[in-house]
Structures are given as C-alpha cells and as structure tokens.
Amino acid sequence: ALRERQIHQPPPSRLRAESSDENQNVEEQGSISELVHAAVARCDLDCRKEMLGSVVLCGGLSLTRGVPERLGHELTKMVPSAFKVKVTAATSVERRFSSWIGGSILASLGSFQQLWLSKEEYDDIGPTLAEKRFNC
C-alpha cells in the first residue's frame, strides 16, 4: 500500500499498451513510445514532423504521474534531432472522460447513426450482421 505523498514509478513493462490483437501479448506490442513512433513512421514524410509536435495523450494511463513527460523523453530519443517532440495532456478530468466524450460526440453525428445495429436486427440476424456491415 502506498502512503500519502509517496511517489510510485511503474516499471517500464507496466507502461506497455494493451494488445488489441488476441494473438499478440502485451510484450510483443511494444511500449507506448514504440507504438507512437511506428504509427508516425507509417505516415507521409511531409507530415511526420508536425505529428510528433502535437502528440495528445489521453485515457486512463495518461493519469499516471510522469507518463506524458516520459513519453516525450522516449520519443525524443527515437527521432532525428530536427524533430521537436511535444506531448500534451489535458486536465485529469478531461483525460479521465475523453473516451466517453468522444463516443458521445460520435454517437450524435447523423452520419454515424446509419452504422448502428438495433437490438432487433442483432436478435434476428446475429453477429454476422456486424461482420457484414463493418467488413470485419
């Protein structure tokens, strides 16, 4: 148990991103900085510098003390010195609820509503409906 005002720095293995692929474990995914670097590397050359200068950290892990600074430091070591890395994180309240806020905005868009599956449709057709509609 942590006492009040005690700082806990998670080991590097705890700062690994969760795997979205069931066939890959967390260790195979790489660190968050490696994932960000790989994502930026897949982009056009002319926008990489701008992307690295505007990394926005959100979600539960971003609430861990020191994570934004650590991500910035690790990314800076991975890219050419001409690239200025800037990692920003909103207030803790915004970071905590950013996924919900984004989902609520997306759900309110008229263009997104055509993608919804009703319970009745799902009950009638089953999981294959989602696979067909979303090309999974």
Q: Quote the pLDDT of residue 20.
A: 46
End-to-end CA distance of the chain: 44
38 domain residue, yes or no: yes
State the total domains in the chain: 1
Per-residue pLDDT of the chain (136 residues; tens, 9 = 90+): 445 555 545 555 544 554 444 555 656 778 899 999 999 999 998 999 999 999 998 888 888 889 999 999 999 999 999 999 999 988 888 888 888 888 899 889 888 877 788 889 889 998 888 888 777 6
Q: Which residues contact 122 (CB under 8 A, 6 or more apart)?
A: 129, 130
Q: Is residue 99 part of a domain?
A: no
Is 102 part of a structural domain of the chain? Answer: no
| CB 87 within 8 Å of CB 68 | yes
- Residue 109 located in a structural domain: no
Tell if the pTM clears 0.85, that is, is over it: no
In a domain, 82, yes or no: yes
**Domain for residue 50, yes or no?**
yes
**Residues in the chain, overall count:** 136
> CATH number, domain at 36?
3.30.420.40
**16 forms bridges with which residues in the sheet?**
31
Strand partners, 87: 55
Tell me 31's DSSP state.
B
Q: List the domain range (segments joined by +) for residue 69.
A: 27-89
Q: Is residue 98 part of a domain?
A: no
